[in-house]
Structure 1
């Protein structure tokens, strides 16, 4: 009987929670129920690594590579920014640290990049060629650029200057909530943002993720741009699935 290929394990690390599950890479879905553990405080890499070890111990049959999403720029396994996590992450070779801590091959990827990979391989952008830009609208604006299935990492398009301001300070979902904007008023800001991306990159498709994408019908039809723009499909699964996919392909 042929052996089943080992599953990869995905971990989505955020400021409040650390979520992990083994991933069926054929289906692009969890192979077992996801487990969530509260992010420790302070959330230093060493303390987070201990949580990863705890997570993996709960899934002893999952022996494949481990992928981890991090809310920061990641180059060759080293975290280069830490907007919403402990500053101790900056300059840390997290691939090496987590590999040593867990005894498993671990690859770390920016959180938006992981979600973008998942949406292109399994979700809303499956089968689409050319340049796909995935944006996550939340506290900030995360972004992933994927060209013919290949990730262009660390795009950080939420930090583009638009009308003299950091784009995410005006167009993130947090700005909508903070300023109590109507869907129409927020959509006008998103129109300005996505038109800027259109001029710079001429993508084939925009995919909009983040928790607010569940309300896409309220605002996406009001975004007035030429490029096709659609809601993400994987929602809160995208980070875990994308992390596992990234690790299964050897990282970046």
Structure 2
């Protein structure tokens, strides 16, 4: 089964049809730059461009870099403040379907989407205990799983680190903006991981975002963390795949736009029970085909 996924980021908006049998893109992704200012209407124009590039008509899953509840975006750290309390699901569905409902849209937090994909298809598959997926990019996103259940909208990139939001110290954007060496940046990431580990005691950290392609350059430099640390297997496509998964689940549940795969409804299970009864889940975990 193919479903369309769009990943809205602070610097780029990318999407593609996703083969949910394999957990991989069914076509080469199409990417445009995030408009500046990144107002809801301007971003919606870009999402429309990405979706129409493929001539897609059907359910669409879209990520958003912030808190999402019931289709409404509640925060706006790395996009225009006009997104706060905006019904993003309705905005995008109206734009893509022309008001006909041809493209029902499901919206969820970007890191939650990446986490769902990694837990089902990637580095977290089959892992129990506490798993934390962290996405490094314009900011730092987080997805926290406890025995396969997602705790949505954790936004751990906003934990304080040396008097600043952690993402203002340790995101890959900061690495580039400050021209940090891999050693310098890894030291900051290490401090951040140590803080998160102190709070959650995870068994596994999965490091995602585009920088995961270069894991060999920085992961060996991170020391003193008890949890296992691995790069994301789906790398920078995880958000697209997770968005498509959420859209499929919403379609099966008969909900057109349930806000980030029901991000506010409760935990998302990725364990055995989810695999047998996920189609009835209110939180958007897709059942295996």
Scaled to the shorter chain, the TM-score interval is 0.7 to 0.9
Question: Would you say 1:29 and 2:24 are equivalent positions?
Answer: yes
Greater shift in the superposed pair: 8-17 or 174-183:
174-183
Cα gap change, 1:150/1:8 in structure 2, threshold over 3 Å: closer, same or farther? farther
2:194 and 2:245 map into 1 onto residues whose CA distance is 31
Cα gap change, 1:31/1:182 in structure 2, threshold over 3 Å: closer, same or farther? closer
Q: Residues 8 and 62 of structure 1 are in contact (CA less than 8 Å); yes or no, is this contact kept in structure 2?
A: no
- Of residues 61, 71, 91, the one that matches 1:67 is 61
Q: Deviations over 1:132-187 (max 9, x none)?
A: 10112223211111233332111111111234332222222233334443333332
**Residue of structure 2 in register with 1:241 after alignment:** 241
- Of residues 47, 53, 65, the one that matches 1:52 is 47
1:105 and 1:165 map into 2 onto residues whose CA distance is 38
Structure-to-structure mapping, 1:106-125, within 5 angstroms:
106-125=105-124
- Pairwise CA distance, 1:110: 1.4
Equivalenced residue count is 246
1:40 and 1:197 map into 2 onto residues whose CA distance is 32
Question: Would you say 1:197 and 2:192 are equivalent positions?
Answer: no
Q: Residues 11 and 138 of structure 2 are in contact (CA less than 8 Å); yes or no, is this contact kept in structure 1?
A: no
Q: Residues 208 and 236 of structure 2 are in contact (CA less than 8 Å); yes or no, is this contact kept in structure 1?
A: no
Unaligned runs of 5+ in 1: none
Greater shift in the superposed pair: 52-61 or 87-96:
52-61
**Residue of structure 2 in register with 1:17 after alignment:** 12
- Pairwise CA distance, 1:67: 0.5
Cα gap change, 1:98/1:180 in structure 2, threshold over 3 Å: closer, same or farther? closer
- Pairwise CA distance, 1:61: 6.2
Greater shift in the superposed pair: 170-179 or 115-124:
170-179
Question: Would you say 1:99 and 2:93 are equivalent positions?
Answer: yes
Tell me the TM-score normalised to structure 2 length: 0.77
Unaligned runs of 5+ in 2: 251-260, 263-289
Question: Would you say 1:82 and 2:81 are equivalent positions?
Answer: no
2:164 and 2:55 map into 1 onto residues whose CA distance is 48
**Residue of structure 1 in register with 2:206 after alignment:** 207
1:48 and 1:187 map into 2 onto residues whose CA distance is 32
